[in-house]
Structure 1
Amino acid sequence: MSYLALKHLHVSCVIFSGLGFCLRGWWMLTGSPWLQHRLARVLPHIVDTLLLGSALAMAWLSGQYPFVNGWLTAKLCGLVAYVLLGSMALKRGKTLASRRRFFLLAVLAYAYIVSVALARNPWPWL
């Protein structure tokens, strides 16, 4: 698969992952039973696996790696924060108020990851 095809797959998965997370967050906030639907529990794992796989393949093909390139290190750290915050928002938060806060923080982490990717700078707002 060419680098350009991998990049298109990666960007598409970024969009689907973010939209899916926001939809599942909305369902969590509104108490919707759709959050427990089998597709809502399985599809995010498929999308995120494709997302991570395409990221690893692009890193290998381009010779750019986390802990070598600062912006990729920032994306990786942002990804870890996003996963942990998202888990607290959708599954592990004890109260609705804490889940709301974790959801907002996870969305901010997602926005940070995207902004770092677009700017190729760990401090995209500077």
Structure 2
Amino acid sequence: MDPSGLLAWYPQLRTLHIACVLLSGALFFARGTSVLAGAAWPMRKPVRLTSYAIDSVLLAAALALAAILPVAMFANGWLTAKIVLLFVYIALGTFALKRARTQRAKALCFAGAVAVFLFMISVARAHHPLGVFAGWMG
């Protein structure tokens, strides 16, 4: 039972969340590859603010989805895995874009961040903490 009526918004929230995931990932990929190429635009204020805005809407949609879904949806730990991976992705992304001291370290952090991002998508699609590897567990 959904006394608040929020469940009716599930399709729109899910679509918004997925769109923001794709926008956020595409912008990060463009920024990361450009930073590695020596470009200055990825760190300019309008670009950073756009990234923050997309990520804020993404997080708000995720929280709204978590609030309206039945608790049983989260029983196997896939949401917890996504949250842990999100922190790893943010840390790697920060080093990839600005905190790493060498180009090699930036490149390694960028590759790691992209890998974690893609794995988070697989966790979300599989609704399993092992994501793409869930089928390998028998």
TM-score by length of 1: 0.93
Identity of matched residues, %: 37
CA shift digits 1:40-92 (9 cap, x unpaired) = 11100000000011000000000349985400011001101000000111111
* Aligned 1:94-113 pairs, distance under 5 A: 94-113=101-120
**Where in structure 1 are there 5+ consecutive unaligned residues?**
none
Pairwise CA RMSD: 1.7
Report the CA distance between 1:37 and its aligned residue: 2.6
Question: Secondary structure at the residue paired with 2:101?
Answer: coil
Contact 1:66 1:73 in 2 (8 A): no
How many pairs are equivalent? Answer: 126
Paired letter, 1:115:
S
Partner in structure 1 of residue 19 of structure 2: 12
**Where in structure 2 are there 5+ consecutive unaligned residues?**
1-5
Partner in structure 1 of residue 44 of structure 2: 37
Seen in structure 2, the aligned counterparts of structure 1 residues 99 and 64 have a Cα distance that, compared at 3 Å, is: farther
Tell me which stretches of 4 or more aligned residues in structure 1 moved more than 3 Å: 63-69
